[in-house]
Structure formats: C-alpha cells, structure tokens
C-alpha cells in the first residue's frame, strides 16, 4: 500500500479521535499502521451514515448525497464484502480496511457485525433493557475490540472476550458523555426501563429540566462500565508490551472521561467532557505502569455476570 494511504488514515484518526490517537502512538510501527487503517474505515462508515465528516456535520457528496441512510448502508456493506474478498478498492477507507482484513485474517462476519450497529441507528432501534443497550455497544464498539485484538496477534477466545469487554466499556462511556448530543439527533441508547423509572419522556430527553435525572442515569452507565474496564485489564498480559501499553493508556483515558461525567452529574453536558494534554501525558505514563505490572499478573476468571459476546 502506498504511503498516501497511511497519511490518510493518520489524519483521519488525528482529527476524529484525539483520545485514541494518543494511545496509538505507542504501538510498534506495523501494529500502529493497521490500527490506523482500521480506524479510518470505522470513521468513514460512521460519517457516511450520519452525513458527517470526521464526526462533524458536513453533508454528503456524490452518490451519498442522493441516497438515504439505508441506501448508504447497503453501499457500505457491499464495499466491505468486496474488500474482504480482495477485489480492487479505489476508496481510501476501503483500501485501508482491505489491507488490515487480509493481513490479519479479520473475519468478514466481524466487519458486518460492526455495520449492524449502523443499521440499528438507521432503523431507529430502541433499547428496552440494559442487555439491549449492551448488544448495541457490541456492534458499534465491542466487535471493533475484537478486530483490534486480531491486529495485535490475539486469537485466543478468552483474550478476545477481554478485548470485546473494553469496547463495551468504551461505548458505555461514550453513551454517558453524549446523552444530550444524541438526544438532539433523536437517538437514545439508554434503556427505556431507566427512562420510565426516572419519569423522563424519550421525546424530552434533552430538555434542561431532566438534567438531574440524566445525571443519575449517566452515573449508572459509568458504574455499569466499571466491571468491563476491570475485565479488559485482565487481558493485558496476553498482549505484546507496547500493545499492552497502548491499550492500558486508551483504557485509562476513556475511563477517566466516564468518571468525569459521573462527578459532573447534571452539569456533565454544559461542556464536552474530555482530557487535556497534560492529563493525557499522565495517563500515558500510568498506562506504562499498568502494562508492566500486568506482565507479572495472573488473570482472574472473567465474571459470569458480564454480557457475553456472540460466538
């Protein structure tokens, strides 16, 4: 693959995910390249469905401008299948994904599982209970953890479970941080049973008078994420040291964001919760310590109560 393809993937991550871009620098060059390529495809698919560019409103162009989300999703699925089959790719995002998929033997089923998450958004799926929210989290983030683990050389199912758990934790954090932004796009990933419990109508989710209730639900989501973050840590000993450092750092950054949301409560959406440069540096150093200590750690069994990914 040409270096312009790598440049495209690098720029995509730098603009679309500053949190993971910090951690990605810790990978060895080959792993970093594949991680960037995989991210570029994920970001592209997300943007195509939402009519955005790198997560920001930009409008669609070309064929996407004339089609609705369902048609755009069908085109993504077709191009993903072609990429997995080794057919020539002209779009940089699909050329990037093809390189990763073929090099690391990523199953087509996992790529399509990820696209199912976008299909859930296109259909406007609702999530009656926490298990339904976790199923959504699997499709949009847990399966990305599985693909990333393959990039890092993981093939053992028990370790793959830990990678999926980290994706679930990341997405639970994202949902908590973005409750109001999602509501303004008429999306809600909170369990409907929780909305009923707190007497918050789904159509009024973004209304200021419901912020105290949203704060409580966000705290609950962050609490739900904690055992998945803990489980993910148990997978670090199976990774190469530099990969373990990168993943431990990403875990620390996202977990910190979730804790900030929980502490802020009803004020969590007055400004977007994140981590500054100095804070990321501290978490990067802490991640190194976590990765090193994991080399001497014997993993604990995965709790049976955690949501189990499809096999």
Band of residue 1 on the pLDDT scale cut at 50, 70, 90: very low
Rounded distance between C-alpha atoms, residue 103 and residue 272, angstroms: 37
CB 167 within 8 A of CB 137: yes
Task: Write down the pLDDT at residue 8.
Answer: 54
Domains of the chain plus CATH, in order, are 1-109 (no CATH), 126-311 (1.10.600.10)
Quote the radius of gyration of the chain (alpha carbons, Å): 19
- Token code pair at residue 136: 């959504």
Task: Write down the pLDDT at residue 162.
Answer: 98
Q: Long-range contacts: 148-156, Cβ < 8 Å, 24+?
A: 148/35, 148/38, 149/235, 150/104, 150/105, 150/106, 151/31, 151/34, 151/35, 151/38, 151/100, 151/104, 152/31, 152/239, 152/240, 152/243, 152/247, 153/239, 153/240, 154/238, 154/239, 156/238
Segment 87-121, tens digit of pLDDT: 999 998 999 999 999 999 999 999 999 999 999 99
134 Cβ contact partners less than 8 Å away, ≥ 6 residues apart: 168, 307
Task: Write down the pLDDT at residue 23.
Answer: 81
Segment 138-186, tens digit of pLDDT: 999 999 999 999 999 999 999 999 999 999 999 999 999 999 999 999 9
Model confidence at 2: pLDDT above 50? no
Segment 60-82, tens digit of pLDDT: 445 555 578 899 999 999 999 99
**Once rounded to an integer, what is the mean pLDDT over residues 268-284?**
93
Model confidence at 272: pLDDT above 60? yes
Band of residue 52 on the pLDDT scale cut at 50, 70, 90: low
Backbone angles phi, psi at 56, to 5 degrees: -120, 150
Rounded distance between C-alpha atoms, residue 147 and residue 83, angstroms: 15
Task: Write down the pLDDT at residue 24.
Answer: 85
Q: What is the largest CA-CA distance in the chain?
A: 56
Segment 3-31, tens digit of pLDDT: 665 665 566 555 555 666 778 889 999 99
Q: Crossing angle of helices 92-104/108-123, nearest 10°?
A: 140
Q: Long-range contacts: 60-67, Cβ < 8 Å, 24+?
A: none
Band of residue 243 on the pLDDT scale cut at 50, 70, 90: very high
CA of residue 202 relative to chain centroid, distance: 24
Segment 207-234, tens digit of pLDDT: 999 999 999 999 999 999 999 999 999 9
What does the angle CA 13 – CA 18 – CA 22 come to, to the nearest 5 degrees? 90
Rounded distance between C-alpha atoms, residue 302 and residue 159, angstroms: 10
Average pLDDT value over all residues in the chain:
91
Closest CA to 253 of 233, 222, 280: 280
């Amino acid at each position: 693959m040409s270096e312009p393809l790598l440049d495209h993937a690098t720029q995509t991550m730098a603009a679309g995910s500053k949190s993971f871009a910090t951690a990605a620098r810790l990978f060895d060059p080959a792993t970093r390249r594949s991680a960037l390529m995989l991210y570029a495809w994920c970001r592209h698919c997300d943007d195509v469905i939402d009519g955005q560019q790198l997560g920001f409103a930009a409008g669609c162009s070309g064929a996407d401008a004339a089609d609705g989300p369902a048609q755009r999703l069908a085109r993504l699925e077709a191009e993903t299948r072609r990429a997995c089959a080794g057919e020539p790719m002209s779009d940089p995002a699909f050329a990037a994904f093809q390189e990763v998929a073929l090099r690391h033997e990523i199953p087509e089923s996992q790529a399509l599982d990820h696209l199912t998450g976008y299909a859930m958004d296109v259909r406007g799926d609702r999530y009656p209970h926490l298990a339904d929210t976790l199923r959504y989290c699997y499709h949009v983030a847990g399966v990305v953890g599985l693909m990333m683990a393959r990039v890092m050389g993981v093939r053992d199912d028990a370790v793959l479970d830990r990678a999926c758990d980290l994706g679930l934790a990341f997405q639970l954090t994202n949902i908590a941080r973005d409750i109001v932004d999602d509501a303004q796009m008429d999306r809600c990933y909170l369990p409907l049973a929780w909305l009923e419990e707190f007497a918050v109508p789904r159509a009024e989710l973004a209304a200021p008078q419901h912020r105290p209730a949203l704060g409580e639900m966000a705290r609950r989501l962050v609490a739900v994420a904690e055992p998945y973050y803990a489980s993910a840590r148990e997978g670090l000993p199976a990774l190469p040291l530099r990969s373990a450092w990168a993943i431990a750092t990403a875990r620390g950054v996202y977990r910190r964001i979730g804790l900030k949301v929980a502490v802020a409560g009803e004020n969590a959406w007055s400004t977007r919760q994140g981590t500054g440069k100095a804070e990321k540096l501290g978490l990067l150093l802490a991640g190194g310590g976590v990765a090193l200590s994991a080399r001497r750690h014997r993993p604990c069994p995965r709790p049976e109560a955690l949501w189990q990914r499809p096999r």
